[in-house]
Amino acid sequence: MTGGSKKLLWAFGAALALALPWLISDRYIQHLLVTSLIFVIFASSWNLLTGYAGQFNLGHAAFFGIGAYASALLALKLGVPPWIGLFLGGLLAAAAGFLLGIPSLRLSGPYLAITTIGFAEILRLVAMNWVQLTRGSLGLYGIPPLPGFWGLEFTSELTFYYVALAGAALALFCFRRLTRSEFGLSLQALREDEPGAESIGVDTNRFKLTVFTISAFFGGFSGALLAHYQRLISPDLLSLHETFQALTMTIIGGLGTLTGPVVGAVLLTFLSEGLRFVEDAVKIDVRLIIYGALLIVTILFMRGGIVGLWERLSAGRGRDQEEG
């Protein structure tokens, strides 16, 4: 694909993203679009840490939950405006990410995976058991919505869509800048060959901590968005399944690519809703069975995910045209 046509595609994509909720007036579909966008941010932030930097984090749900609980509690208990709460939630998650990054400096593979799971599980138990603060497994409800301004309200799916879209655009813009810069190159060096990267002067400790912090910030930010959108959160946000959700979306879309988690998040959100109709018909819970099977098949047979497959197909087509 040439540079010009790629730009055109981007412009078309942006226009479509902006116009989409006006083209589809069904509120249920609009709700799915909002959910997809929140998961775009969540999955992309996991992808930055695991896909780009190779740090196998299985506790990403911790950041999601910290962001959601922090922003919700700040609004409920201290009356902090939710717009500020979104960023404070992100910042608190970032601080947690920095802390979690410290043991990770010495750990990799299964050791890092278990440490990060442990971190998230401990926080989930706190959210379950600190009943005075979090209402335990009942969860927090009545979380205030994002306050409106300039006559705009952010309580409907339609308007919240633009908030989530702006958030996703901000996250993706940051990730694009990061991964296309020298920083991104160093990250990939870190993933491919850590001692090698160190030997050519990459300060791996500083890079790991930085990437943990940034990834955690956006993980927390997406959680805070979810809290003010759903206005109801529970300790399930911190569970292993939430991390696996981000993982499945990213792998199926394409690990270590910018567009992979976007494709995966949108596809799986709509797929699981589509399957819900099938489930109602056949009375069987097939959604997660398909998730698991897709995950295995993707890793075994198409490691690049959908984006990798697309790139290989379009590269093949390009070659055919040149030859023909």
Partner 1 sequence: MESLFLQQVVNGLIVGSVYSLIAVGLTMIFGVMRISNFAHGDFSMVGAYIAVFLLAWVPGWMGWVGSLLAAAAGVGLLGILVERGVFRPLLTRWTDLDQIMVSIGLFILMENLAQLFFGATPRTLSDPFGGVTVNMGLVSTSAMRLLCFAMAMVIIIVLEVYLNRARMGVAIQATAQNRTAAQLMGININLIYAVTFALGSALAGLGGVLYGTLFAIYPTMGAIPTLKAFVVTILGGMGNIRGAIFSGFILGVAETLGGTYISMEYKHAIGFVIIILVLLIIPNGLFGRSEK
Q: Which residues bind partner 1 (CB under 8 A)?
A: 50, 54, 56, 103, 106-111, 113-115, 117-119, 121-122, 125, 128-129, 240, 244, 247-248, 251, 284-286, 288-289, 291-296, 299-300, 303
Question: Least distance in Å: CB of 56 to partner 1?
Answer: 6
Which of 37, 4, 35, 5 lies closest to 18 in space, CA to CA? 37
Question: Least distance in Å: CB of 15 to partner 1?
Answer: 35
- When the beta carbons of 60 and 228 are compared against partner 1, the nearer one is 60
Q: Contact at 8 Å (CB) between 24 and 32?
A: no
Question: Least distance in Å: CB of 17 to partner 1?
Answer: 29
- 2, two tokens: 């040439």
Angle subtended at Cα 67 by Cα 39 and Cα 261, rounded to the nearest 5 degrees:
20
Please state, in angstroms and as integers, the Cα–Cα distance from residue 191 to each residue in 97, 148, 152, 219, 318, following that order.
Answer: 18, 43, 44, 21, 30
Question: Least distance in Å: CB of 157 to partner 1?
Answer: 29
- When the beta carbons of 23 and 282 are compared against partner 1, the nearer one is 282
Q: Determine phi and psi for 194, rounding to 5 degrees.
A: -65, -50
- When the beta carbons of 109 and 151 are compared against partner 1, the nearer one is 109
The continuous run of DSSP H or E covering 141 comes out as strand 140-141
Question: Least distance in Å: CB of 128 to partner 1?
Answer: 7
- 165, two tokens: 């879209």
Q: Which residues of 104-115 are buried (b: 16+ CB within 10 A; e: fewer)?
A: beeeeeeebbeb
- When the beta carbons of 76 and 107 are compared against partner 1, the nearer one is 107
- When the beta carbons of 233 and 251 are compared against partner 1, the nearer one is 251
- When the beta carbons of 26 and 192 are compared against partner 1, the nearer one is 192
Question: Least distance in Å: CB of 217 to partner 1?
Answer: 22
From the CB of residue 265, how many other CB atoms can be counted at a distance below 10 Å?
Answer: 28
From the CB of residue 319, how many other CB atoms can be counted at a distance below 10 Å?
Answer: 10
- 153, two tokens: 């309200």
**CB proximity list for 238: less than 8 A, separation 6 or greater:** 61, 62, 64, 65, 120, 121, 123, 124, 127
In three-state secondary structure terms, 140 is strand
- When the beta carbons of 303 and 317 are compared against partner 1, the nearer one is 303
Question: Least distance in Å: CB of 60 to partner 1?
Answer: 13
Q: Contact at 8 Å (CB) between 101 and 213?
A: yes
Question: Least distance in Å: CB of 58 to partner 1?
Answer: 8
- When the beta carbons of 244 and 310 are compared against partner 1, the nearer one is 244
Length of the chain: 324
